[in-house]
Structure 1
């Protein structure tokens, strides 16, 4: 695992907060495991300069802050990084990341989370994950579908369309192959807590490190989904203890246990510890 990836242990619930709403900064960070201060989509073009000013004046714990900056191809991106150079915030989320060359050229002071939310970005996720300055990858559904000319990432029943599911899996695999963290996309329907529970539980079981959210009410649901229950934790401890007395493959509670199963158990205890 690379040093940048090793630093990305913020917790499972990452809460977006508009950069032009400084009165919400502290509340968002207090309610979630980390706050994503958004200088991109959440802020109108005419308000971006004001939002940057608020960012300079803020006094949050930089270890629990991610700043979403504008796409690298824009003048706003240059202004965003100039602003961040006047703060202690050094972890950025690059919106609509597509070009590995552009991401690689970002000032080495910054730890980068790439947001793969366009067709090109998802297609380049393997190369983006390989960059030394990248610690995590996130994917986004709505911008992805829009980049393809589509109109919705979800079916009428609320489930993701196949293209969104493919992008989600591809970004997760790209991150995992390079030892980087993967962040699951936001759930836009705040009232649909059932679907959020299902998707956050699936994210945790699949290997995502965190899920981003847009409302404080989603934090508790995400945390609960990522937290292993006591039965699972007890199983993990017991099977790892049994492995200390065995050599190679062995049977435990009627199930064959080999190294992949033991890695699952270690992962459960690591999630419980966090």
Structure 2
């Protein structure tokens, strides 16, 4: 498997035990479409869901237009071990594997050790959703095979007893973005679970982007246009970034003025990051 840069942007999650929803997920227009074997699947349905999920990765008619992934159960549980073994034998394997309840780099190593092959190295994302994981972030984000981290607000709020509000979870979000940036990997924000509060979803998405998240998860199709509009750079933003990068190149390292603003190295780096993300590359590749 030849890997392209790790995906960011809008993620959509659909349960594995409802295969009738797979075509809608394939065509939803998200950057990443995930089939879920964990929380959205009842315990009794997991064995069948594990088998049904294989069909999610067979080539959709006309192509899916998005990265196809799977959320497994924790690799430290029986279900998670069975998930990994099943995925290794799928006729078409997922591009991306989301690993829940990650508490240490060991969880990434277990998944990589089971799945990696000479022709297959999927993107491995760690779902950070416990206080212990937050404390272990500096080592988790430096696991050899990690491509990014995803924040899980529901489990984190339950574990800490905090409210599931932006203010209560801002410290955890900031820590996650900081650790991910330090390691040069991507951070994706948690889903928003109030399906009818689309304006609140927009506000939370804007805050997440401003904080440094490279994307956000969705759990319902009507959330997708809102999150997509926030995380897709506008033509004006792209044009401004190109102007900054061009002016910096011409100035050969000197401070320059673009549209009345003084532009130094941090602003140039931010412009390059925006252009790189618009082109589907990671921050690590931008600095290389």
Q: How do 1:72-83 residues align onto structure 2 when only pairs under 5 Å count?
A: 72-83=75-86
Shift of the alpha carbon at 1:229?
2.6
Aligned match for 2:97, one of 92, 96, 107: 92
Question: Which residues of structure 2 form unaligned runs of 5+?
Answer: 117-121, 281-288
The 1:23/1:123 distance shift into structure 2, 3 A limit, reads: same
Helix, strand or coil for the counterpart of 2:241? helix
Q: Does 1:173 align with 2:158?
A: no
Helix, strand or coil for the counterpart of 1:7? coil
Helix, strand or coil for the counterpart of 2:97? strand
**Partners of 2:52 and 2:187 in 1: CA distance:** 29
Question: Which residues of structure 1 form unaligned runs of 5+?
Answer: 155-159
In the alignment, what sits opposite 1:157?
none
Q: Does 1:69 align with 2:80?
A: no
Q: How do 1:61-210 residues align onto structure 2 when only pairs under 5 Å count?
A: 61=59, 64-87=67-90, 88-106=93-111, 107=113, 109=116, 110-148=122-160, 150=161, 152-154=163-165, 160-162=166-168, 164-210=169-215
In the alignment, what sits opposite 1:16?
13
Q: Does 1:257 align with 2:268?
A: no
**Partners of 2:130 and 2:185 in 1: CA distance:** 20
The 1:103/1:258 distance shift into structure 2, 3 A limit, reads: same
Normalized against structure 2, the TM-score is what?
0.84
In the alignment, what sits opposite 1:38?
36
Q: Tell me if the contact between 2:67 and 2:96 (Cα under 8 Å) persists in the aligned partners.
A: no
Shift of the alpha carbon at 1:90?
4.9
The two structures, once aligned, show a CA RMSD in angstroms of 2.1
Shift of the alpha carbon at 1:94?
0.9
Shift of the alpha carbon at 1:123?
1.5
More displaced 10-residue stretch of structure 1: 192-201 or 14-23: 192-201
Which string of whole-angstrom CA distances, capped at 9 and with x for unpartnered residues, describes residues 192-250 of structure 1? 11121122223333332221110011111111101223332222222222223214112
**Partners of 1:60 and 1:177 in 2: CA distance:** 36
The 1:259/1:237 distance shift into structure 2, 3 A limit, reads: same
More displaced 10-residue stretch of structure 1: 233-242 or 73-82: 233-242
More displaced 10-residue stretch of structure 1: 248-257 or 69-78: 248-257
